[in-house]
Amino acid sequence: DTEVTQTPKHLVMGMTNKKSLKCEQHMGHRAMYWYKQKAKKPPELMFVYSYEKLSINESVPSRFSPECPNSSLLNLHLHALQPEDSALYLCASSQAAGAGYNGYTFGSGTRLTVV
Amino acid sequence: AQTVTQSQPEMSVQEAETVTLSCTYDTSENNYYLFWYKQPPSRQMILVIRQEAYKQQNATENRFSVNFQKAAKSFSLKISDSQLGDTAMYFCASESASGTYKYIFGTGTRLKVLA
């Protein structure tokens, strides 16, 4: 299995809702990442998990809460989001934190719309 | 600080022709990695080609090759025999080999292959 699987593919949520994004990989990668991508822009790093521990939080607002239950799973819990949080949320993984020569494997993303 | 610049927001090429996408970067690091990622309308970021800065030889992956000019800090991507499936956004990225866990992405070049 050489994929990163993200669910759901699309999500529409109200500003008072609580929802979660899920990311899964079975490549034995020990680092996982959340990126946010606005239209026609490059991805922006949000969080890095290394060996299931949060290594980097790029000053992301607390309404985004990451969780890494095990080495294969990464969740992003969403609460009280704003319309400007609407974006494509990409998950990625790599063999170790700091992707190095092998680069990242990305999922297809979740398209989030906050109404 | 590292920066990556892609000066061509959009390009087009006829099917079967060759096209070159430009990327320049700035870094004070001695060793680093450079990447080209492709993001088709399906949204998934796909690693196209990678280069280690200390390797003189230009990387090649089938129809994709790079022209890596370390002194000029240039890392262009050449696509030969362009195919309709090459239509995508292409991002150039760099990463320090010192393990900062962070890609620096360029702003992207939207490539359209014309039939």
DSSP string, B69-95: ETTTTEEEEEE-S--GGG-EEEEEEEE
pLDDT at B93 over 90: yes
| Distance of alpha carbon B101 from the chain centroid | 19
Enumerate residues 6+ apart whose C-beta is below 8 A from A62: none
Rounded Cα distance, B42 and B31, in Å:
33
Q: Is A94 on the interface with B (CB under 8 A)?
A: no
Among all chains, which residue has been given the structure tokens 């030969």? B80
pLDDT at residue B98 tops 90: no
Between A and B, how many residue pairs show a Cβ–Cβ distance under 8 A?
65
User: Does the pLDDT at position B89 exceed 70?
Assistant: yes
> What is the structure's pLDDT at A98?
73
Distance CA A31, CA A2 (A): 15
- Burial B89-99, CB ≥16 within 10 A → b, else e: bbbbbbbbbee
R_g of chain B computed on alpha carbons? 14
Q: What are phi and psi of B70, to 5 degrees?
A: -65, -45
Pairing of strands B109-114, B10-14: parallel
Least confident stretch, A21-25, A84-88, B29-33, B87-91: B29-33
Average pLDDT, chain B: 93
Q: A100 falls in which pLDDT band (50, 70, 90)?
A: confident
Question: Mean pLDDT lowest for which of A31-35, B24-28, B94-98?
Answer: B94-98
Residue from A20, A45, A40, A21 nearest A104 by CA:
A45
Do residues B29 and B16 make contact, with C-beta atoms less than 8 angstroms apart? no
pLDDT at A99 over 80: no
pLDDT tens digit sequence for A8-35: 999 999 999 999 999 999 999 999 999 9
Which of the four pLDDT bands, split at 50, 70 and 90, describes residue B71? very high
Tell me which residue in A42, A97, A100 faces B33 most closely, judged by beta carbons.
Answer: A100
Q: Which residues of A touch B102 (CB under 8 A)?
A: 45, 56
Q: Is the pLDDT at B32 greater than 70, yes or no?
A: yes
pLDDT of B96 above 90: no
The Cα A64–Cα A20 span in angstroms is: 10
Hey, what are B92's tokens? Answer: 């150039």
Q: What is the pLDDT of residue B97?
A: 79
B11 and B87 Cβ atoms separated by less than 8 Å: no
B95 closest CA partner among B49, B34, B51? B34
Pick from A55, A101, A109: CB nearest B43 = A109
Residue A95: strand, helix, or coil: coil
A83 CB near a chain B CB, below 8 Å?
A: no
Min Cα distance B73 → chain A (Å) is: 18
| Residue B2 pLDDT greater than 90, yes or no | no
Partners of residue B45 in chain A, C-beta under 8 Å: 43, 90, 92, 104, 106
